[in-house]
Structure 1
């Protein structure tokens, strides 16, 4: 029963769409979300305090040459992997390089937990095998990759609540956590919300309750699951709008719950460009050659009728 749930078949097109999205985000992450990692190359090696895995392997101390090679190699290979070619070779390579990129990023005093599910997605995608965007056949290997990513998404929420209660106790829910966050990086909307008595306390209680109950997304009927996932996204939308924390890689990993094969952006783009009357409408087929009209034939005499 458990193995059947873990390997529930999904359309290969869904795996292909999820894979393209994940690898494109790797490229975007390098140049938009975490370009500051390249600055670590100029920091003294004495400030490098590697994470446990960095000490266990061990991984080298970042240098300008190492970080530069890592950046350009990862950028090129991620874009190549997004095409779906050589899914295993390129997939494993991108995972290892991005894993090292995250070790460099998180070994200077701050660790972001929004990367966990995304790293799991990178680790399991190479096992899904080949998949094309137009392929409607179902695959158990692809279903397993998406299911494991979904479990990692839920674990991010549940373990975050566990950490809050473990280190902050019940006082976390009645303290000034959100108030401090608003003071540091709050928006105008957050300033308005903060003026409502006890609303921040209620929000903190709601956050812990939401995170503890997040595993129920697997228990609700499939027709309601999309609504639950939409609530997950709305939670992060409010987070961005109030304290400007995006959780972008986590949001990408959470698309593993969605029917991405229905989006078909390339097909929609072609349809938009080829609409009748559009500037880029496809050339019309040449008109059929005109056939010369036959010359007038002599009138046919009516046949005699039989009396």
Structure 2
């Protein structure tokens, strides 16, 4: 089990995942959850903090507190995306984003699509230093990605248990999807709803999908990636039908992907015809491997001039 949990991955994958997660955390404040800042307009007695907010305990949100968290988190997340000071910046971003989520979810509605992202923010500070394009493997980074993957799968698996807990078997035979389509359905959803019994089949299929999601860890890498692609297609259809995006969850799910192969800076240099060191991180290696330095008394590599 320990070997599986700490399976080494390229540092370049950790660097790419780290950059993506922190950039999303910054974008989340501006595009997805800017409404959290309006919570200060709600009477304080309506603030019912989540369990963690009661245990710590955390103060009732005020305009000054929420504003300070917003600007500090935005700045620190952008700095953390560079990969520098990964422990200090990483723990700071995690603490501030956790408080941001506690404020957001303490007024009656809790979104479960944030679980994987929160776990990613919690473990990334332990992943160690990593540079984009670095093929060196790291067990610490592998552990951080594996724990995030487990959180992603738990989001699906535990969602099935929540359905059984609150709806029982009637959830699968009820009108859950029909109600969702009535509330926020699109033209695509209207077409789906017009097919007899299709919504009931979809509800049974959704339960099966969630209960079987842990099987992704048992698959060979090629089939695992194909299954993750199916997960993404599921959310694409969900968004197209009832406009639920699950964006934070989708970002956390990139922990399954070989992100080290995505090299936008390398592609940009190829398009512009430029060569040189990768500016994606301080001291990051060039895309071209360096020439080996011959040992004392050893001839230089064939085909290359023996320059000084």
TM-score, with structure 2 as normaliser? 0.88
RMSD of the alignment, in Å? 1.0
How big is the shift at 1:267? 1.1
Could you tell me how far 1:46 is from its partner in structure 2? 1.0
Residue of structure 2 equivalent to 1:246: 245
Aligned length: 275
Structure of larger gyration radius: 1
State yes or no: 1:141 paired with 2:165: no
- 1:211 is matched with 210
In structure 2, the residue matched to 1:272 is: 271
Please say if 1:166 is aligned against 2:148: no
What's the CA shift string for 1:186-215, capped at 9, x where partnerless? 000000110100000000000000000000
Correspondence list, 1:26-175, <5 A: 26-175=25-174
In 1, Cα distance between the equivalents of 2:203 and 2:108?
Answer: 25
**What is the deviation of 1:271?**
1.6
Give the match's secondary structure for 1:252: helix
DSSP-derived class of the 2:216 partner: helix
Superimposed CA distance per residue, residues 235-273 of structure 1 (whole angstroms, 9 cap, x where no aligned partner): 100100000000000000000000000011111122222
Q: 4+ residue stretches of structure 1 with deviation over 6 A?
A: none
Q: Any idea what SS the aligned residue of 2:108 has?
A: coil
SS at match of 2:160: helix
What is the rounded CA distance, in whole Å, between the counterparts of 1:166 and 1:110 in structure 2? 17
How big is each residue's C-alpha offset from its partner over 1:100-142, in whole Å with a ceiling of 9 and x where there is no partner? 0000000000000000010000000000010000211000000
Residue in 2 that maps onto 1:22 = 21
| Alignment deviations for residues 41-90 of structure 1 (CA, whole Å, 9 cap, x no partner) | 12111110100110111000000000000000000000000000000000
How many Å separate the matches in 2 of 1:105 and 1:270?
41
For the residue of structure 1 that corresponds to 2:17, the secondary structure is helix
Cα displacement (A) at 1:167: 1.2
**Cα distance in 1 for residues equivalent to 2:135 and 2:41:** 49
- Confirm or deny that 1:235 pairs with 2:234: yes
Unaligned runs of 5+ in 2: 275-308
**Structure-2 separation of matches of 1:272 and 1:174:** 54
Structure 2 distance, partners of 1:236, 1:274, is 38
Equivalent residue number for residue 296 of structure 2: none
